[in-house]
Amino acid sequence: MAIRLNNVTKKYGSEFALNNVTIDFQPGKIYGLLGPNGSGKSTTLKMITGLVYPNSGSVIVLGEEVTRRISRKVAYLTELDMFYDSFSVGRMIAFYESQFPDFNLEKANQLLKEMNLSENKKIKQLSKGNRGRLKLVLTLAREASVILLDEPFSGLDPMVRDSIVRSLLTYIDFEKQTVIIATHEIDEIEPIMDEVIAIYKGHIIGKENVEQLREEEGCSVLEWFKSTMEKEERGVS
């Protein structure tokens, strides 16, 4: 087991972001964490990377309870744009290499070529699509045991989305790494997911093996997700 959330509750003020959530993530799998905005996806990833802590319950990653030190084992692509605009692409790569012992410079350079990013380009001159590509380069160049991607397709055009999916398939070590992609863009990641998890209003409302969904249930992830959400909303209302 790579990650375990055990009876985790997280509140912001009087609002529950996660409400008594228990779930495991196994090594060597790509998980899709699906849900509408505000469902608890980002909070789940922030818990795993040690950016926020539960009000109750525990988060265990690679055998240790999460603190900020877990960032040395977890690569996290945030939905937010957190670059130094005055840096060039190459300087940003060098900065990440200085911060993370598991950063693979050779892999980063390969990714830069595939993403058509120039080392000399100033970050402030990059388009939104190329900034998204750079975030992915910085994340996937780390040889971390856990990779978390928060809305990696948000606001990006189809070509950029395709390049992200190809890079995931090429540069993930499926024997060792656990990947969790939090998104509401289901079509792009359906072909690469092993497991799919639906989250709604801070509760896990469904978890399925993607191959079994297709072969035994005869439905796509999108169809399953819509059906799961409809059942939940009928139960709530």
Q: What is the pLDDT of residues 210-222, one digit of tens each?
A: 999 989 889 999 9
Coil, strand, or helix at residue 203? strand
Read off the pLDDT of residues 5-45 as tens digits, 9 standing for 90 and up.
999 999 999 999 999 999 999 999 999 999 998 999 999 99
In order of 2, 135, 168, 170, 219, the CA distances from 108 in angstroms are: 25, 11, 13, 13, 37
Mean pLDDT over all residues of the chain? 91
Q: Which long-range contacts (CB under 8 A, 24 or more apart) does 155-164 make?
A: 155/128, 156/128, 156/129, 156/132, 157/129, 159/129, 160/129, 160/132, 160/133, 161/185, 161/188, 163/114, 163/115, 163/133, 164/132, 164/133, 164/136, 164/188
pLDDT for the residue 162: 82
pLDDT for the residue 49: 95
- Bridge partners for 35 per DSSP: none
Neighbours of 69 (CB within 10 A): 9
pLDDT for the residue 237: 44
Please compute Rg for the chain using Cα positions: 18
pTM of the model: 0.93
Q: Exposure pattern of 104-128 as b/e (b: 16+ CB <10 Å)? A: beebbebbbeebebeeeeebeebee
Q: What is the third-level CATH fold of 3-236?
A: Rossmann fold (3.40.50)
- Bridge partners for 174 per DSSP: none
pLDDT for the residue 58: 97
Task: Give dist(CA 130, CA 90) in Å, integer.
Answer: 14
- Single-letter residue type at 46: K
Q: What percent of the chain has pLDDT over 90?
A: 69
- Bridge partners for 162 per DSSP: none
From the list 51, 52, 50, the residue with the least C-alpha distance to 60 is 50
Read off the pLDDT of residues 146-178 as tens digits, 9 standing for 90 and up.
999 998 887 777 877 887 788 888 888 888 899
pLDDT for the residue 236: 53
Task: Give dist(CA 163, CA 169) in Å, integer.
Answer: 10
Give residues with Cβ within 8 angstroms of 139, minimum separation 6.
Answer: 75, 76, 77, 147, 149
Task: Give dist(CA 142, CA 138) in Å, integer.
Answer: 7
Average of per-residue pLDDT across 110-122: 91
